[in-house]
Amino acid sequence: MANVAQSHLAVDQASARKADVESTCSETNCAVCAAWNLSLCTILKNCASEGDRAVVGALPMSTVHMVPARRTIFHPKEWSEFVPVICSGWSVSSIALPDGRRQILSFLLPGDVVSTAFLFGPLSGRHVEAVTEVTYRKFKRSDLRALLFENPEVFDRISKTWLDERVQTDQLALDLGRRTASERIARQILNLAERLAKRGMMRGQTMDFPLRQRHIADATGLTPVHVSKVLGEFQRARLVEISGRSLTIINEAELRIAADWR
Amino acid sequence: MANVAQSHLAVDQASARKADVESTCSETNCAVCAAWNLSLCTILKNCASEGDRAVVGALPMSTVHMVPARRTIFHPKEWSEFVPVICSGWSVSSIALPDGRRQILSFLLPGDVVSTAFLFGPLSGRHVEAVTEVTYRKFKRSDLRALLFENPEVFDRISKTWLDERVQTDQLALDLGRRTASERIARQILNLAERLAKRGMMRGQTMDFPLRQRHIADATGLTPVHVSKVLGEFQRARLVEISGRSLTIINEAELRIAADWR
DNA sequence: CGGGCAATTGAAATACATCAAGGCGTGTGG
DNA sequence: CCACACGCCTTGATGTATTTCAATTGCCCG
């Protein structure tokens, strides 16, 4: 039935065997990044080449890392001197209760800063986990902090990233506290579609969709069973179609209504 | 039955008639603030007196405002060049849906920055409303920003405030998505008690409690009716006692268990 | 080929919402 | 000062969204 290309699985799986591969910064890596012109990297790059900063033609003091699907990228109490930015792949950031209940706070796509908390302290308090194979770039926090003080453009960019993350979390609280299951699920789909579109990662109305229903459940505060039922309804109503590991939005207008969008 | 002093009502109500009273900064106002040594104000004060900054013996470029109970302090789309900090009283910050459903994101107590978003942009996106009569102090954002660049102590303080707010919002999402009604309500009570204690605003195990059940409902994503039922159970089980406008924690250990604390 | 995770589906349980009525306290206007 | 309205809280009855439990299937991976 899965007649749609599963491009996120097309990455050579063999390379996944070697965990946490590290390579020095190379410009070619950024070509992979779907969100080059959106991300923090762009502006950092500009600073690097125009200023007195180290490497020209490369991002300042950063390294690229690779993590295979399903593996943890950061533990909630892990200290890090680095600010990680996703280059490719999908991952998920969440917090959990001792008894295993967990809440996904955001899905991370290429160009996203893993957690803006890392910009200001070594601790994010969030668990970050790869969904697909993921590559990310690590900037040293002290470097960023220095840049932030000298360069108002960097300051603004970082402020904006921070504010965006806050708006997202506020909306999440509103969704979880005050919206129905169908609304929450429909909004997650639309939200992802919008973000992927910005990154040129939509093929028309269809997107790669590597998420398990458990991910959606944990993001919406629901049960996997219930997610299955709602998604079933959405498909029977011809709002969306899910097959293989991709999702296409068939009736965007109706889906927006279901989501109570804007 | 209300045999406990209702100190938050003790404030002269006559003064409430005149809305949004403005007065120039005066040190005496800070004596009212229950959280002087916790708040941003302290460190700003220090900067002002040691540096080349304007007024000595007063906070830099700030004004004090007063708002009567139940009135809006900020509209969600209101632009402001100022960063407000609560001096006295309780208020609430929330976001709402067009149809009226709303989610309270935090209860603001003396010493709290109304929204850290104001530190970096003119827009908070949140609705802020006084519960009791409230006084707050407004700092000019550009002043704070300047201070932030020159003074690493200010930078750290502001980072910390920001990170704290983020942790709170993350926890809120976890609570709303993954906790039961009783857990959420019990945690709100314990959380408030803890914050009030830090400010020296607890009288033993009892606190002023100006919140309506609707506030608790909107903070926990529940219905006022259901809040009433749960609070009723808590009282029948002798976990807490609510009378007049004050709340006392009778069995903290059990309440913590109900809250699934830590 | 077997084992395990993922998804689907139905039946039963339950947590919470909605509806509705009554009481209580508080401010208000006659 | 009383009558009254109104907001707030309580309580019970009923409704419903979502969970839990359980059985079945398909699928990927070893």
- Measured between alpha carbons, how far is A109 from A114 in angstroms, rounded to an integer? 9
> Which residue of B166, B185, B215, B226 to mutate against A (max A Cβ within 10 Å)?
B166
Helix H or strand E segment including B137:
strand B134-140
Select the residue from B174, B175, B216, B226 to test the A interface by mutation, using most A Cβ atoms within 10 A. Answer: B174
Q: What is the mean pLDDT of chain B?
A: 85
Q: Closest to A178 (Cβ–Cβ): which among B103, B125, B166?
A: B103
**Strand A246-249 relative to strand A240-243, pairing:** antiparallel
Angstrom distances, CA of residue A20 to CA of A9, B1, B219: 18, 65, 41
Please report the pLDDT score of residue B28 as a whole number. 55
Looking at A122-131, B27-36, B68-77, B127-136, which range is the least confident one?
A: B27-36
State the pLDDT confidence band at B48, using cuts at 50, 70 and 90.
Answer: low
C-alpha span between B135 and B68 (Å, rounded): 9
Report which DSSP code applies to B118.
G
Question: By three-state DSSP, how is residue B26 classified?
Answer: coil
Residue nearest C8, CA–C1′ metric: A228
pLDDT, position A59: 58
Residue B6 pLDDT: 37
What was the pLDDT predicted at B2? Answer: 35
Rank A66-70, A218-222, B29-33 by mean pLDDT and report only the highest. Answer: A218-222
Torsions phi, psi for B31 (to 5 deg)? -65, -30
Of B96, B125, B173, the CB nearest to A172: B173
- Residue B173 CB in 7 A reach of strand C: no
**Residue B126 with chain A: CB contacts under 8 Å:** 170
Asked if the Cβ–Cβ distance from A103 to B172 is below 8 Å, we say no
Mean pLDDT of chain A: 85
Chain B closest-CA separation from residue A99 CA (Å)? 10
Beta bridge mates, B62: B139
In this predicted model, what pLDDT tens digit does every residue of A71-105 receive, in sequence order? 999 999 999 999 999 999 999 999 999 999 999 99
For residue A19, pLDDT over 80 is answered with no
pLDDT band at B50 (very low <50, low <70, confident <90, very high): low
Q: Distance (Å) from CA A214 to C1' C5?
A: 11
Query: What's the pLDDT band for A47 if we cut at 50, 70, 90?
Result: low
| The model's pTM | 0.88
Distance (Å, rounded) from C-alpha A238 to C-alpha A259? Answer: 15
> Can you tell me the mean pLDDT for B17-38?
58
Whether B125 sits inside 8 A of A167 (CB atoms) is yes
When pLDDT is averaged across residues B68-94 and rounded to a whole number, the result is 94
Q: Across the interface, do A95 and B120 touch by the CB < 8 Å criterion?
A: no
